[in-house]
Amino acid sequence: MHVPRDAVLLRIFIGESDRAQGRPLYETIVLKAREMKLAGATVLRGPMSFGKSSTLHTAKVLRLSEDLPIVIEIVDTQDKIDAFLPVLDTIMGSGLVTLEKVQVVQYGDSNGKN
């Protein structure tokens, strides 16, 4: 798969406890991105966050949170990200979604294999 130098980064901020279709929301999003043949997706779990409600979510031992922050990052062409956004809208109930233009420097390994 080829990703052009000029691409788009889709970043999705949700909570670890968010669910869709009977599974964690992050899993549903990643599987849908894979089904739609996006270049790739990465799920990152954060140790601390707050959002719209200003509720603090933290992984500290004395304040165990079952809703730690999750960030999903997907990089692909503008067209493929644009096609994914309406699908994402049907999957997500709440959360923050951002887009930014990025330049892909390398995709795949140095031998030209993906």
109 contact partners, CB below 8 Å, separation of at least 6: none
pLDDT at 84: 98
pLDDT at 54: 64
CATH number of 6-103: 3.30.70.120
pLDDT at 70: 94
2 three-class SS:
coil
* Measured distance CA(53)–CA(96) in Å, rounded: 13
Q: What is the pTM of this model?
A: 0.82
pLDDT along the chain (114 residues), means of 10: 84 93 95 96 85 66 68 96 97 94 82 55
pLDDT at 58: 66
Q: Which residues pair with 8 in a beta bridge?
A: 76, 101
Strand order of the β-sheet with 41-45 is 41-45, 69-76, 6-15, 96-103
* Measured distance CA(1)–CA(112) in Å, rounded: 11
